[in-house]
Structure 1
Amino acid sequence: MAILQSFGAAEVVTGSCHLLRMEKGPTILVDCGMFQGTVEERNFEPFGFDPKKVDILLVTHAHLDHVGRIPKLVKEGFQGRIVTLKSTMELAEVVMLDSAHLMLEEYETRYRKAQRRGAEASVRQPLYTPDDVQLVYDLPMVFVEYDKPMEIAKGIVATFRNAGHILDSATIELDIYENGMEKKVVFSGDLGNHNDMVMRNPEYVEKADTLFIESTYGDRNHKGIAESVEEFKKIVVDTLLNQGNVLIPSFAIERTQEILCLLKRMYDEKKLPQCRIFLDSPMAIRATRLYDEYHEELSRECNDYLKRDGTIFEFPWVEYTSKPEESKKINEIESGCIIIAGSGMCTGGRILHHFKHRLWNEKNALLFVGYQAEGTLGRRIVNGERHLRIYHEEVVVRASIHTINGFSAHADQSELIDWMRRFERLDKIFLIHGEYDKQKIFKSAIAEKLAKKAHIVEPEEKIYV
């Protein structure tokens, strides 16, 4: 009998971390992500298990809330194998290094201020440093390919399926042979939206004795992609023609590439007013180049662009601003800019500098194209907060605020239901990776539309699989 416990992403969206203990066999951890928003303090708490006793780490994909605590796991004694796709670990390095640099910068700023008060001891060390990230890559790694079963330990076969969420995101099937019995445990990972312009659609899975499924948007359906695209175009065009600027806080992986694709399409169709488009995020720039490198996993439209232009995402009006001095120069431009910058939930990064310089101007538009977790600055703005404190300055929000959910890289309720409906056999369903109130709605929808019971996983609850 195997026991699973969720030490993250249980009744919350972030911090994905699921521990599977075998009665006779290895201990397997699926993801080790960072908590974000109102629960981010949990990153500094003990894991709830001994990292030294984890034998294998499976990684579904490279978003921060799925990989962000791996360096901490290694610091605290994990010396096992990491099993995932090659490009996932390349993207993860970009994500974890960016996180480490941001935490180190925040620590150094707080330390300098504490020195002036004589209170250096009160400043908490960063969760990890860039050097800690590099230690992750000293561990043994086993790279898998989609749809090719691999025995990762005696009696345990893992198969990675394309989840269609971001580059090389995966649904993981585990076939477990124990005590003369075979069980199939499936972790959905984050499932992609079928309307994605960059990624292919998620693959379906045939069977599961036990399914652990994400529920980020289990309470709702997204707007249609055509409607969302038209809304995006109108906001961009109207703002630029009104001599304003468009600010887009964007996740460096997937959402940024999707927005660049859409702007390129508008440029090709001569529907984009003359402007300068700044990709103002070193992390997003590195990620975009990895998308180019692993283009085989992307949509037909992306590969058509590559064949035609030699690049998927670039076109004449796009400028990559890697260096801080390049980013600062954007502030000298009064109007006619589209600025894509991180972080996607506005919890740090260069987007905050652009907020400080441009949110007070009513000609500008702030366009959210991704999920804003509870407790983040992005959620506060979406919820109507109009007086912000950014870098010790009071900033009033006069720019128009827009939220377009149709670009989400997550499947919505109907897509999640459809994905589960394709199972030939689906016995037990467990909901993870979602806010509790939304999971309750999703649980009711599963009962109504699939005539199946689902259980909302509680933090550290023992589930026998």
Structure 2
Amino acid sequence: HIQVKDAEFLNRHHRGKAPVLPLYTPEDAERSLDRFVEHAYEEPFEPLERTRVVLHEAGHIPGSASLEIQWKENGHAGSLVFSGDLGRPDRPILKDPAPLPKADYLVTEGTYGGKKHPDEISLYEALERVVHRAIERGGRIVIPAFAVGRTQEVVHALDRLFVEGRIPELPIYVDSPLAAEILVAVGRHPEVFDEETMEAIRHGEDPLGMRRITLVRDAEDSKKLNEKPGTFITIAASGMCEAGRILHHLKHTVSDPRHTIVIVGYQAEGTLGRRLVERQPEVRIFGEPYALQATVEVLNGFSAHADHEALVAQVKSCGAPKGCAVVHADLERAEALRAALVPSIPTRIPSEGDVWELR
């Protein structure tokens, strides 16, 4: 849906150039659902002969999993664990990530290798300060957020600050059809919640803050937000500001010093989100240059990725693997994690196209 709408927008505004085509359409995505097979955590299944797979709770986003793969070939047995995106222990809403099982080989993410996340108290204090400064300026608060996981956590944090009386009850608009659907879908799957969240639900509380938000599904309603005066909060995808409705909100706020852009997640190199984090004097949105004059606040504590300490602990839970590969990380972060693991665990940082023979 996002790709189709962005392609339509670009084609309308860049007439005379070769048409922009989406990589796939909603119809393609719907057809792919016929190929999905559901599997529960901790229940082994065999996708191939002599190959056994177990999914373990990764604690990153609802439904995220680490894969344990065991195989037998020519009389020899082997095992590999693929961490996937690993979550953080002791975070609100979701269950903690399960310890990675022992394995011969490990492929692990290293997004925050060498980095330590701020504690929850510091994070909430920082968010409180950001909101109060935005109110003083009289502008909007725009939060790019991934539709799955991050949006729910940001809403939860704002709701907690409201309940504790630390910030005024500002209007919150979740302007992402996908995030809106996920918020509703997650509410139907309490099995993904941690015990604290379940206890709150049993007592009739609203830990996800659903009663405080307005879900914006219609594109026309989304456009009207950019005409709305005063201070309010808009949360929209995509999280790295590369597509989706967030681009339209940034287009209307990025050059106005009254407004605040709050970055709450990892921003890959080359993305608009990274350029905002770097506070480059000029950014391009839909191919057009805009002066960056809005305030950019970066709250890394919202990351759903494990930090260095948690990553090292997870790798150590694998025992003594014969080899480990660090992926999903900038080179500096991958090197920091690798340095913490060698020489006790042979660790590599693979490049695209590398072949790793498992013996």
Please give the range of the TM-score, normalised by the shorter of the 2 chains. over 0.9
Task: Say which SS state the counterpart of residue 144 (structure 1) adopts.
Answer: coil
**Code of the aligned partner of 2:34:** D
- Paired residue for 2:118? 223
**Code of the aligned partner of 1:427:** K
Task: Say which SS state the counterpart of residue 272 (structure 1) adopts.
Answer: coil
- Paired residue for 1:57? none
**Code of the aligned partner of 2:4:** L
Q: CA RMSD in A?
A: 2.1
Deviation at 1:456, TM superposition (A): 1.1
Structure 1, unaligned stretches of length 5 or more? 1-100
State the alpha-carbon separation in 2 of the partners of residues 125 and 239 from structure 1: 38
- 1:275-294 to 2 correspondence within 5 Å? 275-294=170-189
Asked if 1 retains the 8 angstrom alpha-carbon contact of 2:275 and 2:283, the reply is: no
- Relative to structure 1, the CA distance from residue 364 to residue 128 in structure 2 (aligned partners, 3 Å threshold; closer, same or farther) is same
Q: Output one character per residue of 1:156-182: Cα deviation in whole Å (capped at 9) or x when no partner.
A: 111000010101111100110111121
2:282 to 384, 387, 390: 387
State the alpha-carbon separation in 2 of the partners of residues 298 and 213 from structure 1: 24
Asked if 1 retains the 8 angstrom alpha-carbon contact of 2:261 and 2:294, the reply is: yes
- Relative to structure 1, the CA distance from residue 175 to residue 378 in structure 2 (aligned partners, 3 Å threshold; closer, same or farther) is same
Asked if 2 retains the 8 angstrom alpha-carbon contact of 1:244 and 1:336, the reply is: yes
- Relative to structure 1, the CA distance from residue 429 to residue 237 in structure 2 (aligned partners, 3 Å threshold; closer, same or farther) is same
Asked if 2 retains the 8 angstrom alpha-carbon contact of 1:217 and 1:434, the reply is: yes
- Paired residue for 2:93? 198
1:343 to 234, 238, 245: 238
State the alpha-carbon separation in 2 of the partners of residues 108 and 331 from structure 1: 20
Asked if 2 retains the 8 angstrom alpha-carbon contact of 1:212 and 1:431, the reply is: yes
- Relative to structure 1, the CA distance from residue 353 to residue 142 in structure 2 (aligned partners, 3 Å threshold; closer, same or farther) is closer
State the alpha-carbon separation in 2 of the partners of residues 301 and 321 from structure 1: 29
Structure 2, unaligned stretches of length 5 or more? none
- 1:174-323 to 2 correspondence within 5 Å? 174-309=69-204, 311-323=206-218
Task: Say which SS state the counterpart of residue 103 (structure 2) adopts.
Answer: strand
- Paired residue for 1:60? none
Deviation at 1:304, TM superposition (A): 3.4
Task: Say which SS state the counterpart of residue 138 (structure 1) adopts.
Answer: helix
**Code of the aligned partner of 2:7:** Y
* Alignment of 1:375 onto 2:270: yes
State the alpha-carbon separation in 1 of the partners of residues 46 and 289 from structure 2: 56
- Of residues 244-253 and 418-427 in structure 1, the stretch that sits farther from structure 2 once superposed is 418-427
Deviation at 1:402, TM superposition (A): 0.9
Deviation at 1:109, TM superposition (A): 4.0
1:459 to 335, 343, 352: 352
- 1:166-181 to 2 correspondence within 5 Å? 166-181=61-76
- Of residues 238-247 and 187-196 in structure 1, the stretch that sits farther from structure 2 once superposed is 238-247
Deviation at 1:303, TM superposition (A): 2.2
- Of residues 218-227 and 304-313 in structure 1, the stretch that sits farther from structure 2 once superposed is 304-313
Task: Say which SS state the counterpart of residue 375 (structure 1) adopts.
Answer: coil
**Code of the aligned partner of 2:265:** G
Percentage identity across paired residues of the two chains:
32
Task: Say which SS state the counterpart of residue 100 (structure 2) adopts.
Answer: coil
Task: Say which SS state the counterpart of residue 332 (structure 2) adopts.
Answer: helix
1:356 to 248, 251, 258: 251
- 1:94-109 to 2 correspondence within 5 Å? 101-109=1-9
Deviation at 1:266, TM superposition (A): 1.3
Task: Say which SS state the counterpart of residue 464 (structure 1) adopts.
Answer: coil
- Paired residue for 2:37? 142
State the alpha-carbon separation in 2 of the partners of residues 107 and 243 from structure 1: 34
Q: What's the TM-score once normalised by structure 1's chain length?
A: 0.72
* Alignment of 1:125 onto 2:21: yes
Asked if 2 retains the 8 angstrom alpha-carbon contact of 1:206 and 1:425, the reply is: no
- Relative to structure 1, the CA distance from residue 316 to residue 123 in structure 2 (aligned partners, 3 Å threshold; closer, same or farther) is closer
State the alpha-carbon separation in 2 of the partners of residues 290 and 464 from structure 1: 40
Deviation at 1:327, TM superposition (A): 1.3
State the alpha-carbon separation in 1 of the partners of residues 302 and 352 from structure 2: 30
Q: What's the TM-score once normalised by structure 2's chain length?
A: 0.93
Task: Say which SS state the counterpart of residue 321 (structure 2) adopts.
Answer: strand
Deviation at 1:124, TM superposition (A): 5.1
- Paired residue for 1:442? 337
State the alpha-carbon separation in 2 of the partners of residues 280 and 464 from structure 1: 46
- Relative to structure 1, the CA distance from residue 396 to residue 271 in structure 2 (aligned partners, 3 Å threshold; closer, same or farther) is same
- Of residues 253-262 and 104-113 in structure 1, the stretch that sits farther from structure 2 once superposed is 104-113
State the alpha-carbon separation in 2 of the partners of residues 210 and 394 from structure 1: 47
Asked if 2 retains the 8 angstrom alpha-carbon contact of 1:240 and 1:275, the reply is: no
Equivalenced residues, count:
358
